[in-house]
Each structure stands twice: as C-alpha cells, then as structure tokens.
A and B are shown apart, each in its own frame.
Chain A
C-alpha cells in the first residue's frame, strides 16, 4: 500500500471541527463553568478508499473526533462535508439515511453487543431498521456476512457470550458492514484483543477494505498497528491535530517534535532494533486548562518564548505533510540533532530529557 493520494479526491472534508464540553467545578466556589476543548479546531480530508490512522494518547480527543464526524455526538462548531453537503446541517431523518453510508466499529466487543439478542438479531436489525430485508432474505444476508468476517454461519442463533473476544469483534465488524457503508470509523478495534487474535482481526480489516473499497478512519494508540494498516496517519495531542502525512513520511521523517518523541518510545519486539529513545518528561496537561500558545510546549524540548505566545498554524510544511509547529523538523533531521543545534541553552534542554 503506497501512499495513494488518489485523484478521486476527498470523501470527507472536516473543517475547523470543534467539540467543547462545559464542565462544572471551575472557580473558587466551583460555580464557574469551565470549557473543556476535547477537539479544538481540527481540519483535514479523508480520501476515498484510504485508511487514515489517527493516533494519540488517552484524552487527546481522537475518539471524540471520530464520533463527531459520524454525528454520534454533535460538534460545537465546524463542518463535515460529505458529497458537497455539510452533514452537520442534516435533519434527523437525513442523518438516518446517511447512517447506511457511515458506520462505526467499537473497541469493546463485550460492551457493544446486546447480550439478550442473538447474533442473527443483532446484525439482522441493521436491515430491518432501514427496511432493506426481512425474514428469510435477511437471514441469508446475515449468514453471508458471518462467513465474510470468518464466522460459522451456523452460529446465527448464538448469543454474544458464546463467542470469544476476537469472534465478538468479528460480529461487530459484520454489523458495521451490513449496509455496505462507504466509510467506517474503527475506534480502537483491536486494542482489547490478545496478540494472536489481534493479527487475525487486522488481517480481516485489510482484506475487507480491499474487497469492499472501504474508506476507514482507524483510531488507535498502538503505533505499530496504525503504521501497518494506514495509508496516512494523523497525530493528535490535547485536542489538536499536530501532524498529518502519508504513513512512511510520518514514521520515517516526522516533522513535529511530539511525533518524533512518541515514535522513539515505542517498545519494539526486537532487542536489535533498539533505537535512541527520547523520553518526554512530565505529563499531558489537563484539557480543561491547556497551556497558552502551543499545547505541547510544556513538554517540548524545542520550545521557545514564541511557543507560549502564539498558537502555531496548521499548515503544509512539506508536500502533503501538514504540521502545527513553529519549529518543525526538517526532512531527515532527528529530534536529537534539532535539540543540539537549535537552542542556545541546548545543554539544559538535553538534561530535561532522558536519552538512552
């Protein structure tokens, strides 16, 4: 899978999407309302037929973003353009018919299937709701789907608890595919699975995507999995998209210091491949009170005075490579080089990190 920035153009355009939550407990008396910016002004395109990976640590807003794009939650502001229309303006009725085209696969294969329904009912429901098939026709279709996702069609009358975790996730995938959607949000679809089962489900997703020409937003925190399955990858930090590019470019030549540090810390299942690790100090600040200027500056080894004052613009710094950073890494430049060369107080900055 090469980065195929296809001529077909974007399937979805996300423009300045924001999702704010009001939380209580701010101020001295706990009466002041605070705003939590879960997703803060995020813009990107999802191309037809691509798998766009979305990574970030917990609380960075990646799952919220996925849900808002599907309007499972309503965004505070912004646009989601699909087929030249902003679906955020759609009525409930319009949304219902749009659901056929857009589906979601959840992380938890235990919590997302109703334990009181059989697999046949859970998947068949999709056809009934949209009035597409019922009775024997429905059963045939569901059984076809079960086989498509690698389950025995005879399990039609089984209940979720009779399946293993990996099998349940297959059921979740079958349900999402039932209406032959164009676009799927896969929210941590393999995170809850054991390694040997995880690779089976990853393979299933790769195959299905090829066969059905799906477009997928693949949300995960496992960088190795995202790298394997995605054509392009976006990196989020504290509600913001900080970098987006084709997978090779992100993993080989990251521009944002956060991406570079994140990549260097992935534990690799190969002692020989051990590379220079750059361990960020400190923790992700609370999204309810993010730092001024650039969100990442409190942990960034390259941050200067400017970073605390100006919010970095989201821009294309290289061809097809978007970054929000005042001092992005050059092509081929490592974070360590950058730290050594750029700051006057380079030594101090080095000490602020753990290198190994």
Chain B
C-alpha cells in the first residue's frame, strides 16, 4: 500500500545541509499497523512528515528516494495534487492537539470544513456527519461539543476531535505522530483503545510514530527501529521483543524499567549520547555507542538487509546473536545451579 524507498530528507541550516532521514526504506500493507520507534533526532517524525510531503513547509526537502502510495509516486506530485491526497487518502494526527486546532472556530465548523473539502455534502448533512464522527471517536455529548471551542475541551477530548477530523474522509492510511505523548496515562489508554477499535472496524492502515516502546508493543503488527536518521531493524512486533537482532534495539528495550523487573538494581544503559545532526559519525551511526563495533563499523555503513527473517542494519548480527545465546545459556545454567 505504502512503499518508501531510499528516502533522504534534509534541512538547510546555518551550518549547511543536514540529513535528518538518510536512506530509509520500508512498506506498510493494507490493514497493517506499523510503528516507527526512535529517540529524539532519530528522524521518525521527519519520515512521517515526508510521506505527507509536509516537510517542505518546514524548510525541509526530500532530496532523493521514492514514496509510492497505491502505486502512485508521491514525491513528484504537485502541491495541488498532494492536497487532494492529504486528508482524503492519508490523514495525520499530531502530538499537540491544542496547536493543531484553530482556536477561533468551533469544533463543529472545523470538522465540517474537513468533511466538505473532500465530500459533496451540504452544511446540514456535513454537520450530521460531524456528529456521527464525534460519536465514533467516543466523545460524550457530541451535539454540545460541536458548538464548543478547542480551549473548552481537555487534552484527551481535543485529541479525539483531531482523530474525528482525520477520519472525516475515511482515509486508508492514518499517520499518528506521538498521538498520546501529551496525555495522561488513563487518557492515553482510552486513545489507544480507540485506535485499536478504528483499525478493526474501518480496516485502516496505521503508521504510528512514537518514542514509547510500550505504546508500540500495545498496538503494532510490525516495528521499525530508527536511530540517527537510519533504520536499524524492522521486525514483527512479537519477534522484536522476543529477540532483538540489533544491539541498539536490545539496548533500547533493556533500558526501560519493566513493571515486573527487579527493583532498585542498576538498569542496563547505552553509554554515550545520541549524535547531533551535524556530527553524524562515519560508518554505522550507532558504532560509537556499540559494544560490538569494529573498525569496519566505524568506516562502512551497514545496509538494511534481510537476515534470519527480518531486516537488520548491522555488520555483526551473527556475533551479536551468538553472544546473546551465550548469555541466555549462562543464565539458564545459573538457575539450575540454584
């Protein structure tokens, strides 16, 4: 359905050109939820903004690569053509629902506008449809909500309104960029439930962008792990958690305290910090922080390749997995000794 190949997106800055996304390839199938997980500066949001061709409005530029949606190339489309696709075919929801909504118009007016942009309905029909949408996203008292302004709603309600607007034209692909990051835990749970429900009822594909590996685990079929503008690993969600094939994935998973883990112990960490866009290391981006890094890693960038039924970008997958197995068997031994 969506096929991204060798995407390079960059920003022109004072210090020259920086590549925020550097050679990214992945696809999303119909009805599939794919999650892009990464820390700040990983390029996860820039990737999603590239698919929507919104980077151009932020001084960004798609330099090379292709983005194919239902067989159509998006990178060469005019702005006018893109506008027809945005919202109608592909919709997007953002992290901050307050800034994404217009403060001077009522919720109803904003939804109606979105509906009528893509569908030939009169005002009355559109208003009815708006109410239907608000009901669908689980907003209480939808009639009253339509007459309210964004500031009169809470964060969770605003995010529901945003989702309603995104769904107005029954898109086939929903891009959700950190949709629950600004929300409290109990509200986050509600929104995740809503997305799960929509996915099942509307047969929508979802591209979810998040820094929270927990949210990814809750929702996604497949997970893409990004680091410093590149994809490190792509795997089925279950398999990824069972056995990460990239040292960065492993580090990321382990550094999050588990709800069932040993308390008070020192957490496994990834030493060092994420490199800035203007100081990307040569070779593998993760090499300076990787315990498996060799000379080759520092010099040559590993391609994203299919290995053992998944895609990994690492020169030392075999060594890494071997050391993991070694680790495992050692753990089991020590249990037996007890």
Interface residues of chain A, those whose CB is within 8 Å of chain B, are: 1, 57-58, 164, 166-167, 194-200, 202-203, 206-207, 221, 223-225, 227-229, 247-248, 251, 261-263, 265-274, 277, 279-284, 354, 356
Across the interface, do A265 and B189 meet the contact criterion of CB distance under 8 Å? Answer: yes
Other-chain contact of A266, B39, B40, B211, B259 (Cβ < 8 Å)? B259
Across the interface, do A272 and B241 meet the contact criterion of CB distance under 8 Å? Answer: yes
Across the interface, do B39 and A228 meet the contact criterion of CB distance under 8 Å? Answer: no
Count residues on chain B whose CB falls below 8 Å from chain A CBs: 48
Most A Cβ at <10 Å: residue of B39, B255, B259:
B259
Chain A residues near B267 (CB-CB < 8 A): 199, 202-203, 228
Across the interface, do B273 and A197 meet the contact criterion of CB distance under 8 Å? Answer: yes
Most B Cβ at <10 Å: residue of A247, A279, A282:
A279
Chain A residues near B157 (CB-CB < 8 A): 283
Across the interface, do A283 and B187 meet the contact criterion of CB distance under 8 Å? Answer: yes
Interface string of B193-228 (1 = CB under 8 A from A): 100100000000000000111111110000000000
Chain A residues near B255 (CB-CB < 8 A): 195-196, 198-199
Across the interface, do A267 and B218 meet the contact criterion of CB distance under 8 Å? Answer: yes
* B253 nearest CB neighbor, chain A only: A269
A187 CB to closest chain B CB (Å) equals 17
Across the interface, do B264 and A228 meet the contact criterion of CB distance under 8 Å? Answer: yes
Q: Is B260 in contact with chain A by the CB < 8 A criterion? A: yes
Taken together as a complex, chains A and B put the C-alpha atoms of A356 and B255 apart, in Å, by: 27
Give 17 pairs: A residue, B residue, CB < 8 Å, sorted on A.
A57-B187, A166-B273, A195-B252, A195-B255, A196-B39, A196-B269, A199-B257, A199-B269, A202-B267, A224-B258, A247-B263, A265-B185, A267-B188, A267-B214, A269-B256, A272-B242, A274-B218
Other-chain contact of A196, B156, B184, B251, B266 (Cβ < 8 Å)? B251
Taken together as a complex, chains A and B put the C-alpha atoms of A1 and B265 apart, in Å, by: 8
Taken together as a complex, chains A and B put the C-alpha atoms of A269 and B225 apart, in Å, by: 14
Across the interface, do B185 and A196 meet the contact criterion of CB distance under 8 Å? Answer: no
A192 CB to closest chain B CB (Å) equals 10
Known contacts A203-B269, A279-B190, A354-B193; A194/B274 CB under 8 A:
yes
Across the interface, do A196 and B252 meet the contact criterion of CB distance under 8 Å? Answer: yes
- 9 new A-B pairs (CB below 8 Å) besides A267-B217, A277-B189, A282-B140? A164-B273, A199-B268, A221-B185, A224-B259, A225-B257, A229-B264, A248-B263, A267-B189, A267-B214
Chain A residues near B257 (CB-CB < 8 A): 199, 202, 224-225, 227-228
Across the interface, do B192 and A271 meet the contact criterion of CB distance under 8 Å? Answer: no
Known contacts A1-B264, A224-B256; A262/B215 CB under 8 A:
no
Across the interface, do A194 and B184 meet the contact criterion of CB distance under 8 Å? Answer: no
Q: Is B270 in contact with chain A by the CB < 8 A criterion? A: yes
Taken together as a complex, chains A and B put the C-alpha atoms of A197 and B267 apart, in Å, by: 11
Across the interface, do A279 and B264 meet the contact criterion of CB distance under 8 Å? Answer: no
Q: Is B154 in contact with chain A by the CB < 8 A criterion? A: yes
B274 CB to closest chain A CB (Å) equals 7
Q: Is B261 in contact with chain A by the CB < 8 A criterion? A: yes
Chain A residues near B269 (CB-CB < 8 A): 196, 199-200, 203
* A354 nearest CB neighbor, chain B only: B193
Chain B residues near A247 (CB-CB < 8 A): 263
Across the interface, do A251 and B259 meet the contact criterion of CB distance under 8 Å? Answer: yes
Taken together as a complex, chains A and B put the C-alpha atoms of A248 and B255 apart, in Å, by: 21
Chain B residues 229-254 with CB under 8 Å of chain A are: 237-238, 241-242, 251-253
Taken together as a complex, chains A and B put the C-alpha atoms of A194 and B248 apart, in Å, by: 14
Across the interface, do B211 and A195 meet the contact criterion of CB distance under 8 Å? Answer: yes
Chain B residues near A280 (CB-CB < 8 A): 186, 189-190
